[in-house]
């Protein structure tokens, strides 16, 4: 097999988010956040993709998987020891905003929450693992959702500014890698998780969605500038959900449509966060959709000054598009839309598997932005079986990861500047879209099931040993 030369300092590791692993949803004075009110099962998926949701907890009807998650809150030492055993150089995690500001709008930070992350960072650093921290990963304080209307409201920028300043001052000697908003562009398809509000009618989505994005861009620039001032040696990136858009065929109408979808979904947010200005194509889009952004004086200057140092992105799938598609065609395939690609197989959840799409993404992103790239999410959600002898032989996951790592190796040879790779859900966790535990991504199995049962015991899968060797060989042994 061909061997790849990854850069000498390549940041191998795994990725998670606070709401999907921690649990302890009421402990240490933590406040409720969006993930705490999302039920498990099919209903969650419907809530995320269809307009209308009231953000109340109703235990008589639903189970809430994020409340306990996999109990990282109490078991982080055991989990970090396993990451260290695999040789992780970095661990991507997020900070739950509601541990630091339980309601989001307080003036004083919550010391118990701050102390928890001190303990986690210290434990990581003890093993030489650098934390890569997402500041906001689908866990907006519920109070900001209910009382302020989420990111539509400009006041939220002020609360976010307070939050990030506390983080940078507190952790300036512990965290060198930061990211602002997880998959910021997912707000187009899942506004609840990304933007903190529910759209009531599909046709009403344009104005509030772009207004909320504008506030996030401003907040992101404020965070970047503060990070550079307070921790000059740190790097801070944006984080986008990237899924290259292929035209279904060579019909120029379909190619143009694919290009427009690509520009809007994949590039719009990164254009602002990396280049520091709204892209040219958006003016026409705003006009045609009657979007008129409310901006404050100085906003455009701020966007220019607060550009990110790198692009973090998630890559799970590509997307194939056709301008005119039947309902039947449109209903198949990926969570972010598109139609079925006849050349690709899909996961058990219908997500199309396309390693070459990762090489394409890396090339496209690097050519367009010319900043270092960091693959901070990628992986296969799959059902795992524990054999009678306790082993978990997840060869399908190893195959998936191997092909994607090869694609990264090719992209490095293509000349792409790649910082690292943190595969998603290095330890099994709650699925963001479906709330299931059975959609497993980990190298480490967690005995926790969709109905909330399970001992929470951790077990090493076959992929654990495989990834350990990948890291030890700097990607040469795949
Ligand atoms: C990304 C998110 O969209 O994909 C993660 O940043 C999420 O939070 C991951 O878990 C995988 O998606 P899912 O729905 O399988 O959990």
Residue ranges and CATH numbers for the domains of the chain are: 11-472 (3.20.20.80)
Closest ligand 1 atom to 439 CA: 15
Atom of ligand 1 nearest to the CA of 381: 15
Q: Indicate the SS3 state at residue 130.
A: strand
Rounded to an integer, what distance in angstroms lies between the CA atom of residue 384 and that of residue 318? 24
Q: For position 326, what pLDDT does the model report?
A: 86
Any atom of ligand 1 within 6 Å of the Cβ of 182 = yes
CA of 429 to the centre of ligand 1 (A): 10
Residue nearest to atom 4 of ligand 1 (CA): 432
Whether the CB of 467 sits within 6 Å of ligand 1: no
Q: What confidence score (pLDDT) does residue 165 get?
A: 98
Q: How far apart are the first and last CA of the chain?
A: 8
**Contact 439 CB / ligand 1 (< 6 Å):** yes
- Rounded to whole angstroms, the Cα distance separating 469 from 146 reads 47
Contact of 441 with 384, CB cutoff 8 Å: no
Binding site membership of 381 for ligand 1 (Cβ less than 6 Å):
yes
Q: Within 127-271, where are the H helices? A: 142-148, 155-170, 191-195, 206-230, 252-261, 268-270
Closest residue by Cα to atom 9, ligand 1, is: 432
Q: Do the bridges between strand 345-346 and strand 444-446 make them parallel or antiparallel, or are there none, so unpaired?
A: unpaired
CB 420 within 8 A of CB 373: no
pLDDT score at 328 = 80
What pLDDT score does 478 carry? Answer: 97
Report the separation in Å between the CA atom of 349 and the middle of ligand 1, taken as the mean of its atom positions.
Answer: 12
Task: Tell me which residues of the chain have a pLDDT lower than 70.
Answer: 331-333
183 Cα nearest atom in ligand 1: 6
| Residues assigned a catalytic role | 183, 377
The pLDDT value recorded for residue 57 is: 93
Q: What is the pLDDT of residue 229?
A: 98
- Is the CB of 194 within 6 Å of ligand 1? no
Coil, strand or helix: which one is 285? Answer: helix
Total H helices, total E strands in the chain: 17, 14
The verdict on the CB of residue 319 being under 6 Å from ligand 1 is no
pLDDT for the residue 331: 62
Render the burial of 127-148: b for 16+ CB within 10 Å, e for the rest.
Answer: eebbbbbbbbbbbbbbbbbbeb
**Burial of residue 223 (number of CB atoms within 10 Å: 0-12, 13-18, 19+):** buried
Q: What is the pLDDT of residue 50?
A: 78
Structure-block tokens of residue 120: 């986690």
Helix, strand, coil % (nearest 5) of the chain? 45, 15, 40
Region label for 354, one of left (φ > 0), alpha (ψ between -120 and 50) or beta (otherwise): beta
Residue 130: phi and psi, rounded to 5, are -85, 130
Ligand 1, atom nearest to 186 Cα = 3
Compute, in angstroms, the gap from residue 138 CA to the centroid of ligand 1: 10
Ligand 1 within 6 A of CB of 261: no
């Amino acid at each position: 097999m061909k061997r790849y030369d990854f850069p000498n300092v390549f940041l191998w590791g795994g990725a998670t988010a606070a709401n999907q692993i921690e649990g302890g949803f009421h402990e240490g004075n933590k406040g409720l956040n969006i993930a705490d009110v999302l039920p498990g099962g099919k209903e969650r998926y419907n809530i995320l993709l269809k307009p209308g949701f009231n953000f109340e907890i109703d235990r008589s009807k639903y189970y809430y998987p994020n409340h306990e998650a996999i109990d990282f809150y109490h078991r982080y030492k055991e989990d970090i020891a396993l990451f260290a055993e695999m040789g992780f150089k970095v661990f991507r995690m997020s900070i739950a905003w509601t541990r630091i500001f339980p309601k989001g709008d307080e003036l004083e930070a919550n010391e118990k929450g701050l102390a928890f992350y001190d303990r986690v960072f210290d434990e990581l650093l003890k093993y030489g693992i650098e934390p890569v921290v997402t500041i906001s990963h689908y866990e907006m304080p519920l109070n900001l959702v209910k009382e302020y209307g989420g990111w539509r409201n400009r006041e939220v920028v002020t609360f976010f500014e307070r939050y990030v300043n506390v983080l940078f001052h507190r952790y300036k000697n512990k965290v060198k890698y930061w990211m602002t908003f997880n998959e910021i562009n997912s707000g187009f398809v899942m506004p609840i998780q990304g933007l903190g509000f529910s759209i009531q009618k599909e046709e009403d989505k344009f104005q509030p969605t772009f207004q909320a994005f504008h506030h996030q861009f401003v907040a992101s620039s404020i965070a970047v500038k503060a990070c550079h001032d307070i921790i000059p040696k740190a790097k801070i990136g944006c984080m986008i959900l990237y899924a290259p858009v292929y035209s279904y065929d060579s019909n120029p109408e379909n190619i143009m449509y694919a290009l427009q979808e690509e520009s809007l979904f994949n590039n719009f947010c990164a254009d602002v966060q990396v280049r520091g200005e709204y892209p040219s194509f958006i003016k026409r889009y705003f006009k045609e959709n009657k979007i008129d952004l409310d901006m404050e004086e100085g906003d455009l200057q701020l966007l220019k000054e607060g550009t990110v140092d790198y692009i973090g992105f998630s890559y799970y799938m590509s997307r194939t598009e056709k301008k005119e598609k039947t309902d039947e065609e449109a209903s198949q395939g990926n969570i972010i839309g598109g139609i079925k690609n006849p050349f690709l197989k899909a996961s058990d959840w219908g997500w199309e598997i396309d390693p070459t799409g990762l090489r394409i993404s890396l090339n496209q992103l690097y050519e367009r932005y010319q900043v270092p790239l960091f693959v901070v999410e990628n992986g296969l959600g799959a059902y795992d079986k524990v054999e009678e002898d306790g082993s978990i032989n997840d060869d399908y996951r190893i195959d998936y990861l191997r092909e994607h790592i090869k694609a990264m190796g090719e992209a490095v040879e293509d000349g792409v500047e790649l910082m690292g790779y943190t595969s998603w859900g290095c330890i099994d966790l709650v699925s963001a879209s479906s709330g299931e535990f059975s959609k497993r991504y980990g190298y480490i199995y967690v005995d926790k099931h969709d109905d909330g049962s399970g001992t929470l015991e951790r077990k090493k899968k076959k992929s654990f040993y495989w990834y350990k060797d990948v890291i030890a060989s700097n990607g040469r042994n795949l």
